[in-house]
Structure 1
Amino acid sequence: MLSFRTTGYNGYAVKYSPFFDSRLACAASSNFGLVGNGRLYILSLTPSGIICEKHFDTQDSLFDVCFSESHSNQLLVASGDGSIKLFDTTVDQFPVLQYKEHTREVFSLSWNLVDKGLFASSSWDGAVKVFNPDANQRASIATLPVGACTYSCAWQPSSPSIISSVASDGLCRIFDLRSPPPGNEIIKTRVSQMEVLTQDWNKYRPELLATAGVDRVVRTWDLRNPAVPVTELQGHGYAVRRVAWSPHWPDVVLSASYDMSVRVWSDGSNGAVGVGAGVGGAPAGQGRLLGVMDRHTEFCAGVDWCLFGGEGWAASTGWDEMVWVWDVGSVMGSR
């Protein structure tokens, strides 16, 4: 395992670059994000460990980070003052663009993997917004009303127009930008009786979504039949802050929790692409815990997979001011 300390700043999100297997970004906040500054770390994995290539300081807390899919040196951060800042690692100190439409904390960012000129943001103000930075526009091109504190938004990986969101009302909403507003909400389904903090789309099965939150359960959903979960994964002791499907194994999902652990799960589909347990209303699948990474000593808030190299490298960050880079395969039991 490799580690880096974000001294004085508590980690909220960590992301691998989609262009370089040795580059990470970490969004962190002073005073646990309650008050004070934020800091964006650009980290490099080297033979001698993790080093900080550069950092950018911000006047308010940072809650998420997202690399551009079209410019290798650019990345976004989500700020507690309602702003979204676009930084370029070749430019010192200041963001190259800034968006200020949200009226409360921005908590999630997602870059479109198909139409790489678009990104989406979600906020505690109850809205998801879509932006096009390549058009040099400071205004959003679409606003999708959620109506509740929106903790996460995510583009469907194989679609240029479908966005999902989860919120404090326990609902998951799916929007299609091709439909005229307000009818662009095409699915609304309850995924928990409590606040939902995180979600992620399966990279191999475009109909499959994972959600988790305050009730501590990671659930997977086939959106062709969203009435019942495909799989329920139970084991965390506190709220689940982040989930992330593997880009290498179709049945494997990571979860980061306030119980200070990162857990590795199989959803029970045994990695069969296009075959989802529970599809068509069958009982929830027999998912299982594969392993636990328990190096964090405070709330674990962020986790992400590396797209490159050997299968299974991941990074996590948390309120203990630590970033860990680790091999998921080393903590997994027999598959």
Structure 2
Amino acid sequence: MNPTRPPPAGLQTPGFAHYSVAWSPFHNSRIALASAANFGLVGNGRLHMVSLIPGVGGSSAVKLDKQYESQDAVYDVAWSEIHENQLVTGSGDGTIKLWDVMLNDFPIRSWHEHSREVFSVDWSNIKKDTFVSSSWDGNVKLWTPEMPRSVTTLHAHLSCVYQAIFSPHQPDILATCSTDGTMKIFDLRSPSYATGPTTNSFTHPLSAAVLTVPASGTELLTLDWNKYQPFVLATAGVDKMVKVWDCRMVQSAQPGAQAVGGLCEVQLPGHEYAVRKVQWSPHRPDILATASYDMTCRIWSSNPSAGGSNLLHVHDPHTEFVAGCSWSLYDEGLLASCGWDGKLFVFRA
């Protein structure tokens, strides 16, 4: 460990376990935390708004600015790409809520179409009026803040969809991962559902992926697109292995095709338990971070120098499952991690 690295800044929120953390795309000091009472198993949830306060000598502190109560666990949070003060959350009761940090107490909009827990939300950074949600009901839904119902429904998997995320390179491409161990790529321009004067994607969900990758023999909990390489994704899950995929290597690209061998470019072993979150760096094409149930957040290189290790840094002050990690969009090397111990850390790796 670098002896000159400043200690991580921390925040404790008693009684609430953190599931997700996200940096604002507009402000380099704003952080949002999605949290749940009783480890998300039963009870209410909370959205925390946090500020990073720079200090002397490279040190910093974090301050709790505001919190919003929810009737059920809050599992994920995503900042709006068009409004600096708004963000969306997914909850255990199947609802999606839009919040404005300039207002107190209540969300400004709420939707309830999912029949089970909403486990992920992601806001498109290309089509900035659109966000996506994924649920344990197997469905993925696209939304715009002004519409009273979803724009499109994808019947993505037969089981729980842990994450759905837009490509940062193509506005109509998104990827999903599921308990079935597959990663699927969907092209929203593909008419893979019943069409006609009496049908639409709301009543006849899109279901055919343009690519299905059997990424793991166990549950696939997380995935992320590389910010610099349009066809490269990383996945991780219950098998403890972080894998990097290049979708250009697929041997058959027909709709619904099952990918066959030779896709996985890099495997990154090292975590001792399931990996709950993977995220590529927004600053470098070969760096990614992971959060795991082994109580660590780790930084990796997918392309280390000759003789170097893929594992670059282990961040281990958490005392419970680490459920979320997020890179600062403005400060290279600065990350936030959050866990079931109710702690948020901001650290430099």
Structure 1 position 47, deviation (Å): 3.7
Partner of 1:235: 270
Partner of 1:42: 49
Partner of 1:137: 147
Q: Residue 254 of structure 1 aligns to which amino acid in structure 2?
A: A
Q: Residue 135 of structure 2 aligns to which amino acid in structure 1?
A: S
Q: Which runs of 5+ in 2 are unaligned?
A: 1-7, 56-60, 194-206, 251-260
Structure 1 position 181, deviation (Å): 2.7
Structure 1 position 15, deviation (Å): 0.4
> Pairwise mapping of residues 60-75 of structure 1 onto structure 2 (< 5 A)?
60-75=72-87
Partner of 1:280: none
CA contact (8 A) 1:233 1:287 kept: no
Please give the per-residue CA displacement for 1:83-104, whole angstroms capped at 9, x wherever unaligned: 0000001111111111101000
The 3 A distance-change label for structure 1 pair 229 and 81 is same
Partner of 1:214: 238
**Correspondence for 2:129 among 110, 117, 121:** 117
Q: Is 2:222 aligned against 1:198? A: yes
Give the secondary structure class of the aligned counterpart of 2:39: helix
Identity of aligned residues (%): 46
**Correspondence for 1:92 among 99, 104, 111:** 104
Give the secondary structure class of the aligned counterpart of 1:249: coil
Structure 1 position 184, deviation (Å): 5.2
| Number of residue pairs aligned between Structure 1 and Structure 2 | 310
Please give the per-residue CA displacement for 1:271-290, whole angstroms capped at 9, x wherever unaligned: xxxxxxxxxxxxxxx97111
Q: Is 2:49 aligned against 1:4? A: no
Q: Is 2:336 aligned against 1:326? A: no
Q: Is 2:31 aligned against 1:21? A: no
Give the secondary structure class of the aligned counterpart of 1:32: helix
Please give the per-residue CA displacement for 1:208-267, whole angstroms capped at 9, x wherever unaligned: 000000000000100111433010000000000000000112101101000000111111
**Correspondence for 2:322 among 300, 304, 324:** 300
**Correspondence for 1:158 among 158, 165, 169:** 169
Partner of 2:212: 188
Give the secondary structure class of the aligned counterpart of 1:224: helix
Once residues 239 and 323 of structure 2 are traced to their aligned partners in structure 1, the CA distance between those partners, rounded to angstroms, is 16
Structure 1 position 52, deviation (Å): 1.2
Partner of 1:171: 182
Q: Residue 291 of structure 2 aligns to which amino acid in structure 1?
A: A
Partner of 1:282: none
Partner of 1:32: 39
Please give the per-residue CA displacement for 1:107-162, whole angstroms capped at 9, x wherever unaligned: 011111100000000000001100011xx212111111122210000000011100
Give the secondary structure class of the aligned counterpart of 2:168: coil
- Bigger Rg over Cα: 2
Give the secondary structure class of the aligned counterpart of 2:233: strand
CA contact (8 A) 2:304 2:310 kept: no
Once residues 18 and 91 of structure 1 are traced to their aligned partners in structure 2, the CA distance between those partners, rounded to angstroms, is 19
The two structures have a TM-score, normalised by structure 2, of 0.87
Once residues 87 and 177 of structure 1 are traced to their aligned partners in structure 2, the CA distance between those partners, rounded to angstroms, is 27
Once residues 309 and 92 of structure 2 are traced to their aligned partners in structure 1, the CA distance between those partners, rounded to angstroms, is 36
The 3 A distance-change label for structure 1 pair 176 and 184 is farther
The 3 A distance-change label for structure 1 pair 168 and 3 is same
Q: Over the residues paired in the alignment, what is the CA RMSD in angstroms?
A: 1.3
Please give the per-residue CA displacement for 1:3-46, whole angstroms capped at 9, x wherever unaligned: 01111100100000000000000001000000001000000112
The two structures have a TM-score, normalised by structure 1, of 0.90
CA contact (8 A) 1:267 1:287 kept: no
